[in-house]
Amino acid sequence: MLILDSVSRSFGAGVHRRSVLDRVSVSIAAATETAIIGRSGCGKSTLLNLISGIDQPDAGRVIFDGVDLGALEEPQRTVFRRRRVGFVYQFFNLLPTLNVEENVRLVLSLDGVGSAEARRRSRALLERVGLGDRLHSPVDVLSGGEQQRVALARALVHDPALLLADEPTGNLDEVTAAQLAPLLRELARERGATVLLVTHDRQLAAGADRCLTLRDGQLL
């Protein structure tokens, strides 16, 4: 499903240039869950940005389902992200001007799904995450756990092949985090999605099929 072939990325200029990823190579099998742990600032989010095509490596290749993302133009990478990738962020990244259902439905609308079908799919998934009674609520009145469940529904409503989760429990209390993790895994498994999550939560990482550590620019 996903291959990183000698991927390197650095930032800055001249003597101040800092290498974040140094010839990283790894293969991720389809329909599996991989956790990546590492200290803050070690490049975990940079790695997710490269995998999603938001950023481009200085060297090496990111190959997704046989397609070299570096060979795509930016408009093609945008379509790739919109159709093939789902994102869950630490701070939810919901749109405060839209209600719960609208935040989820927007993903489908942007991809040209008709309004009736988009509404049906959004509501069905929100029911699954326990928010069927909050469809028309403003997102800013929800608890942190409820907002992250909206974000999870938004990430999966278009049935992405790849789910990228960047510290999905990092802004939640311990009890709420423990409730979210099995829900994320259950929904991703039902859809056959490949999950790649970045986390400081070793308990969350321990439930993955595979756990990698990012240290000194290398995946161990």
Q: What is the CATH number of the domain that holds 139?
A: 3.40.50.300
Is 200 a residue whose pLDDT tops 90?
A: no
To which H or E segment does residue 153 belong? Answer: helix 144-156
Nearest Cα residue to 145 out of 161, 134, 156, 159: 134
- What domain range includes position 197? 32-47+82-219
Examine residue 103 and state whether it is found in any structural domain, yes or no. yes
**Does residue 27 sit within a domain?**
no
Asked if 99 and 136 touch (Cβ cutoff 8 Å), the reply is yes
Residue 11 inside a domain? The answer is no
181 is a domain residue: yes
37, part of any domain: yes
How far apart (Å, rounded) are the C-alpha atoms in residues 146 and 45?
Answer: 24
Total of domains in the chain: 1
Does residue 163 have a pLDDT over 90? yes
Q: Is residue 172 part of a domain?
A: yes
pLDDT tens-digit series, residues 118-139: 999 999 999 999 999 999 999 9
- Give tens-digit pLDDT for 27-47: 999 999 999 998 888 889 999
Q: Residue 16 falls within a domain, yes or no?
A: no
Contacts of 197 by beta carbon, 8 Å cutoff, 6+ apart:
33, 34, 35, 36, 164, 165, 166, 168, 204, 205, 208
Q: What percent of the chain has pLDDT over 70?
A: 100
pLDDT at 15 exceeding the cut of 80: no
Give mean pLDDT, residues 54-75. Answer: 95
pLDDT band at 141 (very low <50, low <70, confident <90, very high): very high
Say if 115 falls within a structural domain.
yes
Distance, CA of 181 to CA of 179 (rounded, Å): 6
Mean pLDDT of 90-103: 95
